[in-house]
Amino acid sequence: MNTPTAAVGSAAARTPRPSAGAPALRELADGVFVYEQPDGGWCLNNAGVITGGGRCVLVDTVATRARAERLRDEVARVAPGGPDTVVNTHFHGDHVFGNSLFTPRATVIAHEGTRSDMAESGLGLCRLWPDVDWGEVALALPDLTFTERLTLRAGELRIELLHVGPAHTANDVVVWVPEHRVLFTGDVVWSQVTPYVLMGSVSGSLRALERLRALGPRTVVPGHGPVGGPEVLDATEDYLRWLARSARDGLRAGRTPLETARATDLGRFAGLVDPERLVGNLHRAHAEATGLAPGARIDVAASCQEMVAYLGHLPACHA
């Protein structure tokens, strides 16, 4: 596709970001760890590890075989037997493709809708970036599903799985460790990375953020980007409210989502990783503003094609 020529503040005008750094496992609280994958761009998600009483819960996996093997090695440093449970916060491949390296020993848990979406989407993400070395990935669907909430335990630590979608997808789950006030948000929350709500909801994301804020987290582990505190919730909300205003302005001007993206100055959000997600986000925001229900199906392929048109090339994926 041709490079857009009328993109005010578009991603195409930005200097390409440097290669991503090395992933690292670090402790956030006693028995609670984050596995961060910088810089949090496409398919570079975070995972969580919670240990206690000889039990281990892994929150999300990763995208490629090589990255999953590295995650497995890092988890083994703090839980030599590996995780007993893997929780998938949503169905996207960067959060679930590594499941098979931890099964059948580990029980995989997810929302009932997430399991259905995983089965339907399969390994489709691999086709989006054919040049990525995905390795031998195999889909391991959840063994156990729930619909609203589920409580796990690792020794004395209580681990609450809460359904808060539609937000990033139709059925997002967060993982809350109340004793340490650590919150693993999946892709409901982003840190220094452009949020993405194409398959979920703008209004639903805002409602989810209110619910997460009410938990009173001290440490917030976003799905992508650096760990932070409650300010990470605020930053995600700030972007989403700006997005909603931009969509309303575009609709009043009679523009399509792509036209709105090209006419929109990214302003204070220009420094976020992967700003081209604005196109997909506007597709969802425009659709919701004209009556589409939160989380309802949308044309993902058309949005991705327009995102490439906006950017001028395929978005960078360092998986």
pLDDT digits (tens, 9 = 90+) for 223-251: 999 999 999 999 999 999 999 999 999 99
Q: How far apart are CA 9 and CA 262, in angstroms?
A: 8
Query: Contact 280/307 with Cβ under 8 angstroms?
Result: yes
Within a 10 A sphere around the Cβ of 17, how many other Cβ atoms?
12
| pLDDT of 297 higher than 50 | yes
Rounded to whole angstroms, the Cα distance separating 31 from 275 reads: 35
Q: Kindly tell me if the per-residue pLDDT of 116 is higher than 80.
A: yes
- Map out the domains of the chain with their CATH numbers: 24-229 (3.60.15.10)
The pLDDT tens digits of the residues spanning 54-93 come to 999 999 999 999 999 999 999 999 999 999 999 999 999 9
Question: What value does the mean pLDDT take over residues 189-214?
Answer: 98
Q: What tokens does 274 get?
A: 């992967």
Q: In this structure, what token pair is assigned to residue 35?
A: 């596995």
Tell me the backbone φ, ψ of residue 177, rounded to 5 degrees.
Answer: -110, 90
User: Would you state the pLDDT for residue 177?
Assistant: 98
The SS3 of residue 23 is: coil
Tokens linked to 83:
């995780």
Distance separating alpha carbons of residues 215 and 220, to the nearest angstrom: 11
Q: Residue 267, exposed/middle/buried by CB under 10 A (0-12, 13-18, 19+)?
A: exposed
* Location of structure tokens 């030599």: 80
Q: And the tokens for 162?
A: 């809460």
Calculated CA dihedral for residues 7, 11, 14, 19, nearest 10 degrees: -160
Mean pLDDT of 4-32: 62
pLDDT at position 20 is: 64
So what's the pLDDT on residue 3?
Answer: 27
State mean pLDDT over 35-53: 98
pLDDT recorded at residue 21: 79
Q: What is the pLDDT of residue 6?
A: 29
Q: pLDDT above 90 covers what percent of the chain?
A: 93
Average pLDDT of the residues in 174-191: 98
Flag whether pLDDT at 281 surpasses 80.
yes
Rounded to 5 degrees, φ, ψ at 32 are: -125, 120
Q: Which of 93, 157, 78, 100 is nearest to 126 (CA)?
A: 93
Residue 242 tokens read as 């700006």
Closest CA to 51 of 144, 153, 142, 162: 153
Q: Given pLDDT bands bounded at 50, 70 and 90, which one contains residue 17?
A: low
H or E element: which one contains 205? helix 202-215
Average pLDDT score over the chain: 94
Which pair of structure tokens corresponds to residue 105?
């020993």
pLDDT at 18: 52
Torsion of CA 51, 54, 59, 60, to 10 degrees: 130
Q: Model pTM greater than 0.85?
A: yes
